[in-house]
Each structure stands twice: as structure tokens, then as C-alpha cells.
């Protein structure tokens, strides 16, 4: 059984300095990161473009033992999951909002031997993911509008969903992490954890911190 009281800190490479990616990845792992989070954007589902499978594979080569948590903010994740799995992802998270065969995609991810997550945007009701909560390993609640880092944490729009997700998990004896992504720092880490989140994705507050180890420690203990 997974320990949902244990906080997992996942620095987001979207906020890293890619001109020194080797140093940034190693710094994150040496500073106590549990996972590395990779935000893949296609310019359609979100209004930004980030990177593709080759970038993920490069990160895998830099940190062979790291848990790579790949978040596909793309219109048709079903077409690309195998490329990202082959690139070295340990988890693939897909969004519930686009129009594609979600259940089949989750099944394909898990058949490939990696874990599967499903994500919802701040405005998306929790009911949209209910049918899949018994099939996934991670529920990602976006706490900002996806696409860009450095945004403010959306407490009122997202924390009730985190709390409800925890209640659904407990009531139905399900087993999935509750992850939050966007505007996470020590203050919002505590708010998120108090509502039921145990996986904290943090970009700006880790890679832009003067001392990443201290920043991660503060989020873990807040």
C-alpha cells in the first residue's frame, strides 16, 4: 500500500536553465528531489511549446536512476505515449479534457510497465475523472492554468477538488497519489498537504531558489 502521508517533491524542469541541463538535473537530485517532473506542451492543448521525447531521453541519460514524471499537456496523448515511455519516463500523466480514448490510453500506459496519471485543469470538475480513479496511480490537480510557470496558486478553485479526491480515495479504498502543480512553494505546499495532496511539483521555487536543498526541505516539512 502506498504511503500517502509521505511528501514527494518533484522539481519541474520547465523552470531549469536548459543551457546547463546536466548541472540542473544533478543539482535537483543532490538537493533531495524525489522525482523530476517534465512538462510536455504541444502549442494546441496549451498555448506554449516545451520539448519532446528526445529531451526526456537526454534527462534519462543524465540521471539514470531518477523517477521521471512526464506530464503530457497535449491534444492527442494517445498518439505519443509510447515515444515518451521509450524515452525513459517512469510515469505518464494525460489530461482528461481533450477528446480521445482515455481508458484505452491509461491501459496502454500501464501495459508498458510504467505508472499512469490523469490530470485536470483548475476549471475542470472532479466528476470528469471519477470513472478513471480506480485505474490510475496519480491524480494531478493543476493549481494554475497550464502552459506557463511562475503563476499564482489558485486556492479557491482547486483545493476543494484536492480534498474531495482524498475523500473519494478513502471512501472507496482506492490507491492513487494526489499531485498538485503550479505556484507551489513552502506556503502553498502546506495548504495543499492539509487538503490531501502528497506529491508537490515545484518549478520556480526550486530551480530559481538561492538554495534548492533548503527550498525542498521547507516544502517537505511545511
The set of catalytic residues is 39, 181
* Cα–Cα dist 92/101, whole Å: 15
Q: Which helix (H) or strand (E) holds 187?
A: helix 186-195
CA count, 13 A, side-chain hemisphere, 82: 3
* Cα–Cα dist 115/138, whole Å: 8
Query: CA separation (Å) from 169 to 91, 138, 173, 196, 205?
Result: 20, 11, 6, 10, 29
Taking only Cα atoms into account, the Rg of the chain, rounded to an integer number of angstroms, comes to 16
- 215 φ, ψ (degrees, to nearest 5): -60, -45
Q: To 5 degrees, how large is the angle CA 137–CA 143–CA 144?
A: 130
Amino acid at each position: 500500500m502506498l504511503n500517502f502521508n509521505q511528501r514527494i517533491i518533484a522539481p519541474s524542469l520547465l523552470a531549469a536553465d536548459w543551457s546547463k541541463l546536466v548541472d540542473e538535473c544533478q543539482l535537483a537530485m543532490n538537493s533531495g528531489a524525489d522525482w523530476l517532473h517534465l512538462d510536455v506542451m504541444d502549442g494546441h492543448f496549451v498555448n506554449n511549446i516545451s520539448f519532446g521525447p528526445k529531451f526526456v531521453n537526454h534527462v534519462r541519460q543524465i540521471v539514470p536512476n531518477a523517477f521521471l514524471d512526464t506530464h503530457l499537456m497535449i491534444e492527442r496523448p494517445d498518439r505519443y505515449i509510447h515515444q515518451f515511455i521509450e524515452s525513459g519516463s517512469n510515469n505518464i500523466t494525460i489530461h482528461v479534457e481533450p477528446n480521445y480514448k482515455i481508458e484505452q490510453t491509461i491501459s496502454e500506459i500501464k501495459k508498458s510497465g510504467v505508472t499512469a496519471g490523469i490530470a485536470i485543469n483548475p476549471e475542470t470538475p472532479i466528476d470528469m475523472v471519477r470513472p478513471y480513479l480506480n485505474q490510475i496511480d496519480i491524480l494531478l490537480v493543476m493549481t494554475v492554468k497550464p502552459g506557463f510557470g511562475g503563476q499564482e496558486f489558485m486556492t479557491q478553485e482547486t483545493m476543494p477538488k484536492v480534498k474531495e479526491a482524498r475523500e473519494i480515495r478513502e471512501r472507496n479504498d482506492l490507491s492513487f497519489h494526489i499531485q498538485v502543480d503550479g505556484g507551489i512553494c513552502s506556503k502553498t505546499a502546506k495548504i495543499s498537504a492539509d487538503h490531501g495532496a502528497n506529491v508537490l511539483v515545484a518549478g520556480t521555487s526550486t530551480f530559481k531558489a538561492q538554495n534548492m536543498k533548503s527550498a525542498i526541505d521547507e516544502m517537505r516539512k511545511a
